[in-house]
Amino acid sequence: MSWRKEQRRAERGYHHGNLKEALLQAALGLIAEKGAAGFTFADAARMAGVSAAAPYRHFRDRDELLSSIAQRGFEQFEARLSAAWDDGRPDTVTAFERVGKAYLAFAREEPAFYNAMFESGLPVDANPALMAAGERAFGVIRAAAERLAALTPPGIPRPPAMMMALHIWSMSHGIASLFSRGDAARRKLPMSPDELLEAEVLIYLRGLGFPIDRRPAGKRAEPPPVPPEAASGSGVPPGGPWGKPK
């Protein structure tokens, strides 16, 4: 044990050189294995080959390391959602579904990030930078919802984009955290989490009046966006399930 530390030190010298990054990586691995609750500051230090006190030169405490990971997670999350959205190409509905899949894929492929972001019990609102990163990620969903809302077929009340975004987020998060990760994933389901989410979103969109079909994407009609004034009127019962705007 001691000779090993000596050896490492011989390799890298007294100073680690990149301890902060090494700690983040170590923590990521540990969280993926044992969850944010089981992750230990001391373990991360051990894994990086330094003493238990060294990490305090780079993070105020264990929570700050966790926050850093959550922050990075939100940034990567935003990147992946953005890529999936691809500015609504080739058509809004297809791209929208791709965002949903990307959400689940991220939860599945980056359990450590997802855990730190949503399940670690971090006081998100106590950390402005963290909250901002979260908002930016949510912004992708929000922007997509905005575009989708603008496509509401004529004669149907247009739903508030913000509400749609929150709905989509809650569906994705609900499925991810109930069925798509850890032990919960072992529950016997009649369909995969991806299929479950896709069906849920499609039914939801249909409920909003979108003429959803199951034809392969790419051959979908995409009518031009309707200006808001045209959305109401024409003999359709006023107000959707979201009530009338106050």
Binding site for a copy of itself (CB under 8 A): 35, 37-38, 118-119, 121, 123-126, 159-160, 162-163, 166-167, 169-175, 177-179, 182-184, 186-187, 189-191, 195-196, 198-200, 202-208, 212-214, 237, 239-243
Indicate whether 1 belongs to the interface with DNA (CB under 7 A): no
Contact between 51 and DNA (CB under 7 A)?
Answer: yes
Binding partner at 158 among a copy of itself, DNA, none, C-beta below 5 to 8 Å by kind: none
Would you say 49 or 157 has its CB closer to a copy of itself? 157
Residue 63 touches DNA, criterion: CB under 7 A: yes
Question: What is the separation of C-alpha 232 from the centre of its chain, rounded to a whole number of angstroms?
Answer: 33
**For DNA, which residue of 34, 62, 101, 147 counts as binding (CB under 7 A)?**
62
Residue 40, contacted partner among a copy of itself, DNA, none, CB below 5-8 A by kind: DNA
Q: Compute the least distance from the CB of residue 163 to a copy of itself, in Å.
A: 6
Closest approach, Cβ 221 to a copy of itself, in A, equals 15
Are 16 and 49 within 8 A, CB to CB?
yes
119 binds, options DNA, a copy of itself, none, Cβ within 5 to 8 A by partner type? a copy of itself
The verdict on 14 binding DNA (CB under 7 A) reads yes
Of 54 and 185, nearer to a copy of itself (C-beta) is: 185
Q: Which residues contact 63 (CB under 8 A, 6 or more apart)?
A: 122
Interacting residue ranges for DNA, rule: CB under 7 A:
5, 9, 13-17, 19, 40-43, 50-54, 56-58, 61-63
